[in-house]
Structure 1
């Protein structure tokens, strides 16, 4: 524990090796600022979330002020002007974590968080205690071993659990998404193909797993994407193959990596979709 001039409690743990994974924790801390302690107005180039454990304060984002109290989490998004201030009589006590992630606005939007809706609220001490414990695991895990990259890996894992918990709390407050069963089925099929493209996929098996007749799913899929499931699968495979062309892998190895057992058939399909053979595409990319 340490004391700063404007806090009665101030602790922080800094990640010694951020950036090794998709979610990079930068730092995490806990603080109990003095009355009317204010940060901002300013912007950050990373995400910063605070969860209030007790007390009160005010968070301003996108020109709107939000009163926050115990159980509230306020989210600072990259590039968005913000400020926050402790209550003059009952200053808040909070924990925080800062992190970077590609597509941060999209990630937070998927969680239901936007500049216009930056607060996640939870009720009940049990839920708040669960969040607090995750923050502690992130903060206290740094500088404890001779292997910083392992600490980075652990912190990223705890952050994902924290974001999952916050998202679930937020979803409980949001109206049900206006998504039809048809749209949901098509999205499931898209995700299935996008993650399993390297396997020997059977559209029949995919439809059966998702609970649809093949012909029905194919019709719905084409209506919503403009492609049949097999065409979509081929597009995903060719796009993945294109991204591997600037590596040292052979054409045969690339073909196998994206789901083609026959390198000649792969070359034929690659040319159909790109207008070039894999070798021609690779030379052009060099």
Structure 2
């Protein structure tokens, strides 16, 4: 069994700007005051701990987020050997600066520290946990992981700055071209970087604006189209395993889970209903 006191790190060379650390039992994980070059966002997932942040000290418990600016001295440690667990996301400062600048939150592409130290709003905690779950899941695709990180951090940056998201400024034709590209490349791994290069959009603007136009993020749009294609293949009698690979899923179980999530029926149930319809048409009432 895995030792919960040992940290687990998630990294992906295709997303070098983000790293995630997970500790299930932090009682044996004690820190001297230190700092990071990255901007860091932590979530207390269990128990309580102390959070030393420069000259301030807080007691934080499960459901809270801690915000740590680059090069700010800090330390988190257990209280009287009580259980506590946490997740810590490290974001490259230059990457986050660019994200904030392109979102209209910075007047110049230069880092500005964020004054907030603790976030207690539960919606940001649950969103953080969903993001971490996505990153840690080896079955999730690159575009989904990139989308969840950009979408969450962009929204959080607007929240912390007290500014609303910027309005859509591109014409629908730009989004239609992206949608056409996604459909044409539905069976391969598409990256957010590629979509940005093709459109000229920043990651945050692309995701929000695409979602406003189509009601889905680019990744959700891609998955939805794959399932639509899967339905067509199943209608033509293709085996489920073959269909899964043809439409861009890594394996049959992933296809089956997604199919059921979107259509409330398994691929097998869908195929069987088609067979029953054929029987009724040829020999039924």
Q: TM-score, normalised by structure 1?
A: 0.45
Q: Which has the higher contact order (CA 8 A, sep 6+)?
A: 1
TM-score in terms of structure 2 length? 0.45
